[in-house]
Amino acid sequence: MAAPTGTFQTYTAIGNREDLIDIICMISPTKTPVLSMTESVRAMATLHEWQTDSLNAPAANAAVEGFDSTASAVGYTTRLNNYTQILTKNFIISGTQEIVRKAGRSSEIGYQVQKLTKELATDIEYALVINATTASGASATARTMKGITGWIATNSGTSASNRALTSAILDANLALIWAAGGDPDVILSGGAQKIAIAGFTSNTRYISAESAKLVNAIDIYQSSFGTLKTVLSHVLNTNLPHVVYSLDMSYWRKAWLRPVGLAELSRSGDARKFQLVAELTLESLNEAASGTLTSLT
């Protein structure tokens, strides 16, 4: 039914106030589990180095009483390295935009610093997990660190064709890690593989009649080779959804050459320029302490 002739409506009115709520609603993945779980140490140069070693396998060892000592050849350490990677977020805010009244934030600079700091953290998480190779860089080429994906090689479980993750497949990989001397405590995966773990047929389900609640999540996986916490990773979910990592977190450390910092750059006009910058690399103290499963559905 049409409005009566001459009705003054909002469609033609001039001067009605806008209805803009004073909140900015943002939903994006911001969790960075590897960045959070790894110990922080200092890097002192762009090429960060460390050493690894291993013990000889156990063998029969019995000496004759009063024997004359004969020296055995000793093993030598392995020298490893990773390059530091510079990660930045830059922004410029006009003097006018900073001073005008805004919805959802009092300072545009403060809001952008908060937002871009979260973005920088997720970029660091990506490098720590996804980077497959390292690069020394050049005058016009950025240095890059090698992430978990590039480091794990010894305990790798793959298949010619994609297959569903099962407890047997996961336990076989954990057995390899255990045999190499590792003691993994974290299973890192995307959403599909977390669901697969929750669906293992050997899992026990509990239904609370009082709360009418079905628990169908596995946060702790107790295997024959140790107890591991299952952790969701947004960067794995987006970039490597068919991969699962079993990690001994005591063998992974992030080495900061420059922790995350904010610098205001010199002005060149009626605007303020800012740069968020961080420089770090990943230490894989011994990649054989962890393992990877690939080719999963």
Amino acid code (one letter) for 96: T
- For residue 60, is it within any domain? no
Q: Taking residues 177-187, report their average pLDDT.
A: 96
- For residue 11, is it within any domain? no
Number of structural domains the chain divides into: 1
Quick: pLDDT tens for 79-132. Answer: 999 999 999 999 999 999 999 998 888 999 999 999 999 999 999 999 999 999
- For residue 153, is it within any domain? yes
Quick: pLDDT tens for 227-247. Answer: 999 999 999 999 999 999 999
Cα–Cα distance for residue pair 242/232, rounded to 1 Å = 13
Q: Taking residues 263-274, report their average pLDDT.
A: 94
- For residue 226, is it within any domain? yes
- For residue 232, is it within any domain? yes
Cα–Cα distance for residue pair 43/47, rounded to 1 Å = 9
| The pLDDT of residue 202 is above 70 | no
**How would you label 158-177 residue by residue, b for 16+ Cβ within 10 Å and e otherwise?**
eeeeeeebbbebbbebbebb
What pLDDT is stored for residue 140 in this prediction?
A: 95
Reported pTM:
0.88
Three-state secondary structure call for residue 172: helix
- For residue 216, is it within any domain? yes
The DSSP secondary-structure symbol of 202 reads: T
Q: Taking residues 45-67, report their average pLDDT.
A: 91
Please answer whether residues 167 and 204 qualify as being in contact, where contact means their C-beta atoms are separated by less than 8 angstroms.
no
Residues of the chain with pLDDT > 70: what percent?
Answer: 93
What is the residue range of 272's domain? 33-50+80-293
Half-sphere exposure of 47 (CA within 13 A, CB side): 6
- For residue 15, is it within any domain? no
- For residue 173, is it within any domain? yes
